[in-house]
Amino acid sequence: MKPRPFTYLRPDTVAEAAEALSEWKEAARVMAGGQTLIAMLNLRLVDCEAIVDISRVPELSAITRTKTHLEIGAAVTQNRVLSRPELAQEVPLLAKALPWVGHFQTRNKGTVCGSIAHADPSSELPLSLALLGGEVVLRSTRGTRVLKAAEFQRGLLSTAREPDELVTAVRFPLGAKGEGTGFREVARRHGDFAIVSLAARARADAIDLGIGGVADRPAVRTIPRADLSRLDDIVDALAAELGGFEDIHATARYRRDLVRRLARPVIDEALSCSA
Amino acid sequence: MSAPAIRSAQAEAPSRPPRAKDRQSSSPLGQPIPRKEDEALLRGRGRYADDVPAPAGTLHAYVVRSPIPHGLIRRIDVSRALALPGVHAVLTGEDVARLSDPFLVALKQPIPQWTLAVERVRFVGEPVALVLAEDRYIAEDASELVDIAYEPLPAIVDPEEAVAEGAPLVHPDCKSNEVSRRDFTYGDPDKAFAEADKVVKLRVDYPRNSFMPMECFVVVAQFRPSDGSFDVLANFQGPFSAHPVMARALRVSGAKLRLRTPADSGGSFGIKLSVFPFVVLMGLAARISGRPVKWVEDRYEHLLAASSGPNRVTHIEAAVKNDGRITALRMDQMEDYGAFLRAPMPGPLYRMHGATTGAYDVPNLYVVNRVVLTNKAPAALIRGFGGPQLYLGLERLVQRIALALDMDVLDVIRKNLVPSGAFPYRAAAGALYDSGDYPLCVDIATGEGRLEDLKRRRDAARAKGRHYGIGFAAVVEPSMSNMGYLSTMIPASARERAGPKNGAVSLATVNVDPLGTVSVTADLTVQGQGHETVISQIVCDQLGLKMDDVVVNLEMDTVKDQWSIAAGTYSCRFSPGTAVAVHHAAGAIRDKLARIAANQLNVLPEDIEFVDGMIRSKTNPDNGLAFARVAGTAHWSPVMLPDGMAPGLRETATWAPPELEPPSGDDRINTSLAYGFVFDMCGVEIDPDTWEVRVDRYVSMHDAGRLLNPLIAEGQIRGAFVQGLATALYEEFRYDDKGGFLTGTLADYLIPTVTEVPEIELLHIESPSPFTALGAKGLAEGNCMSTPVCIANAVADALGIEHVPLPVTPMRLHALMAGPEKTPPRQAKATSTAATAAKREGARELTGSGAVTIGAPVAQVWRALLDPENLKATIPGCHALDVVGENDYRAEVSLGVGPVKGRFRAEVRLSDLDPERSGRLSGGITGPLGDASGAGMLRLEPIEGGTRISYDYEVAVGGRAAAIGGRLLDGAADLVIRQFFERFASRLGASSGAPSASWWNRLTSALRKPQ
Identify the bridge partners of residue A260 per DSSP, sorted by sequence position: none
The phi and psi torsions of B441 (rounded to 5 degrees) equal -60, -40
B844-1008: CATH topology is Alpha-D-Glucose-1,6-Bisphosphate; Chain A, domain 4 (3.30.530)
- Over 70: is that where the pLDDT of B844 sits? no
pLDDT digits (tens, 9 = 90+) for B614-625: 999 999 999 999
Nearest CA in chain B to A235: B823
- Over 50: is that where the pLDDT of B799 sits? yes
- Over 60: is that where the pLDDT of B182 sits? yes
A7-53: CATH topology is 3.30.43
- Over 90: is that where the pLDDT of B230 sits? yes
- Over 50: is that where the pLDDT of B187 sits? yes
pLDDT the model gives residue B839: 43
CA distance B394 to A200: 48
Mean pLDDT, chain B, rounded, equals 91
CATH (one of 3.30.390.50, 3.90.470.10, 3.40.50.11140, 3.40.50.1820) for A180-273 = 3.30.390.50
Q: Establish if A37 touches chain B: CB-CB under 8 angstroms.
A: yes
The phi and psi torsions of B150 (rounded to 5 degrees) equal -110, 150
pLDDT the model gives residue B964: 84
Q: Do B818 and A253 touch (CB under 8 A)?
A: yes
Total residue count of chain A as it appears in this document: 275
Residue among B446, B424, B421 nearest B433 (CA): B424
pLDDT the model gives residue B841: 63
pLDDT the model gives residue A153: 96
Among A119, A192, A253, beta carbon nearest to B832:
A253
Q: Do A240 and B823 touch (CB under 8 A)?
A: yes
Helix axis angle, A252-273 to A231-242, nearest 10°: 140
The nearest CA of chain A is from the CA of B249 a distance in Å of 29
CB B887 within 8 A of CB B931: no
CA distance to A89, A114, A141, B189, B352, per residue, from A77 (Å): 19, 9, 25, 67, 52
- Over 80: is that where the pLDDT of B12 sits? no
Q: Do B971 and A156 touch (CB under 8 A)?
A: yes
- Find out if CATH 3.65.10.10 is the number for domain B505-655: no
Of the pLDDT bands very low, low, confident and very high (cuts 50, 70, 90), residue A117 is very high
pLDDT digits (tens, 9 = 90+) for A148-176: 999 999 999 999 999 999 999 999 999 99
Among A1, A37, A236, beta carbon nearest to B822:
A236
ipTM of this complex prediction, to 2 decimal places: 0.96
Q: Which of B298, B694, B811 to mutate to test the interface with A (most CBs of A within 10 A)?
A: B811
Label residue B364 exposed, middle or buried (CB < 10 Å: 0-12, 13-18, 19+).
buried
Residue with the larger pLDDT of the pair B192 and B637: B192
Q: What type of residue sits at position A38? A: I
Q: Which of A52, A217, A253, A260 to mutate to test the interface with B (most CBs of B within 10 A)?
A: A253
Among B818, B826, B975, beta carbon nearest to A257:
B818
Q: Do A251 and B830 touch (CB under 8 A)?
A: yes
Residues of A whose CB is below 8 A from B832: 253
Mean per-residue pLDDT, B519-546: 97
pLDDT the model gives residue B195: 98
The nearest CA of chain B is from the CA of A186 a distance in Å of 7
pLDDT the model gives residue B22: 52
Helix axis angle, B276-289 to B242-250, nearest 10°: 30
Of the pLDDT bands very low, low, confident and very high (cuts 50, 70, 90), residue B17 is low
pLDDT the model gives residue B99: 97
Residue with the larger pLDDT of the pair B952 and B36: B36
pLDDT the model gives residue B998: 40
pLDDT digits (tens, 9 = 90+) for B892-913: 888 888 888 888 888 889 899 9
The domain ranges of chain B are 57-416, 505-655, 844-1008
CA distance B40 to B44: 6
Residues of A whose CB is below 8 A from B755: 189-191
The domain ranges of chain A are 7-53, 58-173, 180-273
How big is chain A by its Cα radius of gyration, in Å?
Answer: 19
Of the pLDDT bands very low, low, confident and very high (cuts 50, 70, 90), residue B1003 is very low
pLDDT digits (tens, 9 = 90+) for B487-512: 999 999 999 888 888 999 999 999 99
Contacts for B827 with CB less than 8 Å, ≥ 6 apart: A243, B848, B849
H or E element, residue B193: helix B189-194
**Are B505-655 and B844-1008 in the same CATH fold?**
no
Share of chain B above pLDDT 90, in %: 77
Of the pLDDT bands very low, low, confident and very high (cuts 50, 70, 90), residue B981 is confident
pLDDT digits (tens, 9 = 90+) for A24-33: 999 999 999 9
Among A4, A189, A192, beta carbon nearest to B141:
A4
pLDDT the model gives residue B875: 82
Dihedral of CA A12/A15/A18/A22: which sign? negative
pLDDT the model gives residue B19: 58
Residues of B whose CB is below 8 A from A45: 899-900, 902, 929, 964-965
Q: Do B689 and A236 touch (CB under 8 A)?
A: no
Of the pLDDT bands very low, low, confident and very high (cuts 50, 70, 90), residue B1002 is very low
- Which of B633-662 are b and which e, b meaning 16 or more Cβ less than 10 Å from the residue's Cβ? bbeeeeeebeeeeeeebbbbbebbbebbbb
Contacts for B924 with CB less than 8 Å, ≥ 6 apart: B906, B907, B931, B932, B933, B934
pLDDT the model gives residue B8: 35
Of the pLDDT bands very low, low, confident and very high (cuts 50, 70, 90), residue B6 is very low
Q: How many CB pairs under 8 A join A and B?
A: 162
Residue among B783, B781, B522, B572 nearest B674 (CA): B572
pLDDT the model gives residue B11: 37
Mean per-residue pLDDT, B841-863: 81
What is the CB-side half-sphere exposure of residue B91 using CA atoms within 13 A? 32
- Find out if CATH 3.30.465.10 is the number for domain A58-173: yes
CB A200 within 8 A of CB A184: no
pLDDT the model gives residue B379: 97
Of the pLDDT bands very low, low, confident and very high (cuts 50, 70, 90), residue A190 is very high
Mean per-residue pLDDT, B723-747: 95
Q: Do B975 and A158 touch (CB under 8 A)?
A: yes
Q: Do A45 and B753 touch (CB under 8 A)?
A: no
CA distance B723 to B788: 9
Q: Given its phi and psi angles, is residue B852 left (phi above 0), alpha (psi -120 to 50 degrees) or beta?
A: beta
Mean pLDDT, chain A, rounded, equals 96
Q: Which of A48, A247, A258, A269 to mutate to test the interface with B (most CBs of B within 10 A)?
A: A247
DSSP state at residue B661:
P
- Over 60: is that where the pLDDT of B979 sits? yes
Residues of A whose CB is below 8 A from B825: 240-244, 252, 256
If one counts every other C-beta atom within 10 angstroms of the C-beta of residue B822, the result is: 14
Q: Do A158 and B136 touch (CB under 8 A)?
A: no
Architecture of domain B57-416: 2-Layer Sandwich (3.30)
Identify the bridge partners of residue B677 per DSSP, sorted by sequence position: B476, B703
- Over 90: is that where the pLDDT of B927 sits? no
Q: Which of residues 156-185 of A touch B (CB under 8 A)?
A: 156-159
